[in-house]
Amino acid sequence: MNTLIGLLAVVLIFIIVFQLAKASDLMGILKGEKEGENTEGANKTQGLLLMIFMIVGLIGVVVGWLIYEPQLLQGGWSFVPASMHGVEINSSFWITTVVCGIVFFITQAILFWFAYKYRGREGHKAQHFSHDNKLEIIWTVIPAIVLTVLVARGIETWYDITSEAPEGARIVEVTAQQFNWTVRYPGADAVLGQREFELISGENALGINWGDVKSQDDLMPSEIVLEKGVPVLFKLGAKDVLHSFYLTHFMVKMDCVPGIPTQFWMTPTVSTQEMRDHRNNQEFDYELACAELCGRAHWNMRYVVKVLEPAEYKSWVASQTPFYENVKASLAPPADAIPAGADSTVTVPVEGDTTKPSIGEKESDTNVISSL
């Protein structure tokens, strides 16, 4: 019923506006408006309206910025992001914003000002002005120089961020699937055990080869826990479709691609507790989100990330038991047998066998994966 009334109201408004517009055009014709021409009055009205739009609009942009900028991220882009490289992204952002902001205000103001100032008036003639090579050169060279600076800075920062992870960076493997994440830590040996996608089953979500000794100390916690100040290398993958590993506050984003390992390293600099205090919100948690459309529940892949102080981190690690302990019992016969659900032709590699690289060992080539 409400819908019907709403629709009727819209139709009624349409009819009224339409009739008024028809009358207004007719009036113009009766007043002797020349076909194709605008009267001086019409030009003035339109010119003024454009000026009002420009002035109100530019003020709106400033006010909007003042209101919303402090709310962006964790207290505005001026706040130090929770990761080391985030600071660099941040300063690039500010440089770009200042440059673009200046250009934006000047060009918009001139555009609308000219439209108003040079509106058609009686007795006023346009000036034929077809080209000026000097002007053209000026506004080719200046943008070129400014952009060169932005490109140079952008690329420099980009190389910093995408450089090799430092020695001793902690490895955290994150595997995406519809519609959640599975996390694996390499355990005490700092090496992830082997995985095969053919081994994936209901019990073995990642297709871990339990026969590989390196996998037997791997941890599979239900949240991502990081140590403040220690570089971490995320090794990313996906089981079914594309996903994207996205940590807003750390300014980390990298797609998870089935069949092609990707990675991203960063150093968290603000612990969860520090961020809670800063935001006056003890409920706050860093959240991992998916940033690549992956199906009907793409929006629902929340996963908590915690950054702990070094001492807390140590005790957290100590409290974890390798995932192998949970599944050992169900893996019969024990020791180096073929895992449940696996194809019997898959040979179980012994320790040190590197003929078949697994995701955990592809470190060196992930950087050059571009497929083309």
Partner 1 sequence: MAELHNPAIEVHHDDHAHAHDHHGHDDHGHHELNFIEKYIFSQDHKVIGKQFLILGMAWAIVGGLFSIFFRLQLAWPDESFPILEWFLGGWAEGGKLSADFYYALVTMHGTILVFFVLTAGLSGTFSNFLIPLQIGARDMASPAMNMGSFWFFVLSSIVMFVSLVIQTGPAAGGWTAYPPLSALPQASQGSGLGMDLWLISIALFIISVALGGLNYVTTIINMRTKGMDFFRMPLTIWAFFFTAIIGLLSFPVLFGAAILLEFDRLLGTSFFLSDIYVAGEALHHSGGSPILFQHLFWFLGHPEVYIIILPAMGIVSEVMAVHSRKPIFGYKAMVFSILGITILSFIVWAHHMFVTGLNPFVASIFVLFTLLIAVPSAIKVFNWITTLWRGSIRLNPAMLFAIGFVSLFISGGLTGIYLGNATLDIQLHDTYFVVAHFHIVMGLAAFYGMFAGIYHWFPKMFGRYLNSTLGYIHFYVTLVGSYAIFWPMHYIGMSGVPRRYFDFTVFNQFNQYADLNKFITVAAIVVFFVNLLFVINFFYSIFKGRKVTVQNPWGATTLEWTAPINPGHGNWEGDIPAVYRWPYDYSINGRDFIPQTEKLGPNESEDHDIGSDTPKPTEKVPGENLH
- The SS3 assignment for 43 reads helix
- The SS3 assignment for 170 reads strand
Among 87, 108, 223, 317, binds partner 1 (CB under 8 A): 108
Q: Is 294 in the site for partner 1 (CB under 8 A)?
A: yes
Which residue, chain included where needed, has tokens 């003639």? 125
Q: What are phi and psi of 268, to 5 degrees?
A: -70, 140
Which residue, chain included where needed, has tokens 């932005």? 150
Q: What distance lies between CA 112 and its chain's CA centroid?
A: 34
Q: Is 273 in the site for partner 1 (CB under 8 A)?
A: no
Among 8, 12, 16, 21, binds partner 1 (CB under 8 A): 21
Which stretch, 55-63, 211-219, 227-235, 322-330, contacts partner 1 (CB under 8 A)? 55-63
Helix (H) or strand (E) holding 108: helix 84-117
59-88 positions binding partner 1, by CB under 8 A: 60-61, 64-65, 68-69, 71-73, 77, 86, 88
Q: Is 239 in the site for partner 1 (CB under 8 A)?
A: yes
Q: Is 140 in the site for partner 1 (CB under 8 A)?
A: yes
Count interface residues toward partner 1 (CB under 8 A).
Answer: 133
Q: Is 100 in the site for partner 1 (CB under 8 A)?
A: yes
The dihedral built from the CA positions of residue 35, 40, 41 and 46, taken in this order, carries a sign that is: positive
Distance CA 317, CA 201 (A): 27
Nearest approach, Cβ of residue 319 and partner 1 (Å)? 26
Among 80, 182, 191, 248, binds partner 1 (CB under 8 A): 248
Extract the tokens encoding 198.
């053919």
Q: Is 371 in the site for partner 1 (CB under 8 A)?
A: yes
Q: Which is nearer to partner 1, 198 or 325 (CB)?
A: 198
Q: Is 364 in the site for partner 1 (CB under 8 A)?
A: no
Give the CA diameter of the chain: 100
Q: Is 12 in the site for partner 1 (CB under 8 A)?
A: no
Q: Is 194 in the site for partner 1 (CB under 8 A)?
A: no
329-348 positions binding partner 1, by CB under 8 A: none
Helix orientation angle between 84-117 and 133-161, rounded to the nearest 10 degrees: 160
Among 8, 12, 16, 20, binds partner 1 (CB under 8 A): 20
Q: Find the distance separating the first CA and the last CA of the chain, reported in whole Å.
A: 58
Q: Is 98 in the site for partner 1 (CB under 8 A)?
A: no
Q: Is 51 in the site for partner 1 (CB under 8 A)?
A: no
Q: Is 173 in the site for partner 1 (CB under 8 A)?
A: no
Nearest approach, Cβ of residue 321 and partner 1 (Å)? 26
Q: How many CB atoms lie within 10 A of CB 195?
A: 24
Question: How would you classify the pairing of strands 224-227 and 262-266?
Answer: unpaired
Contacts of 198 (CB under 8 A, 6+ apart): 207, 342, 343, 346
196-235 positions binding partner 1, by CB under 8 A: 197-198, 200, 202, 207
